[in-house]
Amino acid sequence: MALRVKGLQHLNLRVADLARARAFYESLGFEVSFAKGHTVWLSAGGDLLGLSEGEVAAERSGEHFGFIVDERGDVDRWAAQLRARGVGAEKGPYDRSDGRSLYFRDPDGHLVEIFWLDPAFLALSRG
């Protein structure tokens, strides 16, 4: 059985000036969903666009895109399937404050995340 993703959950971009980037995207109609640390998360339809402040390097060191999965264990199943195909994890799988993640790189070096969002985190962050 092939594993499937539920959708594209977020796109995270590193920006040199968070206030400037936030103002730019808000001027385009994006709305702030929440902020966490040095990152602002903007609503992009049913998905999120993250803007993380930091040094913008020529390499794609901090940029990544993530696919959301239905269950916590799906992250580990993805890790096993990737290992079986010779794709090593960049990081994870590991638990974090908002869910469980696995990072790996595609053949072009893009950083990809498989992510399970803990419903308890959403309940706390909205409360």
**pLDDT category, 62, cuts 50, 70, 90?**
low
In this structure, the answer to whether residues 44 and 96 fall within a common structural domain is no
Summarised one tens digit per residue, pLDDT across range 13-28 is 888 899 988 987 887 7
In this structure, the answer to whether residues 81 and 115 fall within a common structural domain is yes
Judge whether 1 lies within some domain: no
In this structure, the answer to whether residues 74 and 113 fall within a common structural domain is yes
In this structure, the answer to whether residues 84 and 111 fall within a common structural domain is yes
Mean local confidence (pLDDT), 51-77:
82
* 127: pLDDT strictly greater than 80: no
Which residues are tagged catalytic? 113
**Which range, of 44-58, 69-83, 90-104, averages the lowest pLDDT?**
44-58
**Torsion sign over Cα 20, 97, 71, 78:** positive
Top pLDDT among 91 and 109 is at 91
Judge whether 76 lies within some domain: yes
Judge whether 2 lies within some domain: no
Strands (DSSP E) contained in the chain are 7-15, 31-36, 39-44, 47-53, 64-68, 91-96, 99-105, 111-117
* 56: pLDDT strictly greater than 80: no
- What's 101's domain CATH number? 3.10.180.10
Summarised one tens digit per residue, pLDDT across range 104-120 is 887 767 788 989 999 99
In this structure, the answer to whether residues 24 and 76 fall within a common structural domain is no
Structural domain span for residue 100: 64-127
Name the phi and psi angles at 30, rounded to 5.
-70, 145
In this structure, the answer to whether residues 73 and 123 fall within a common structural domain is yes
Judge whether 94 lies within some domain: yes
Domain count, the chain: 2
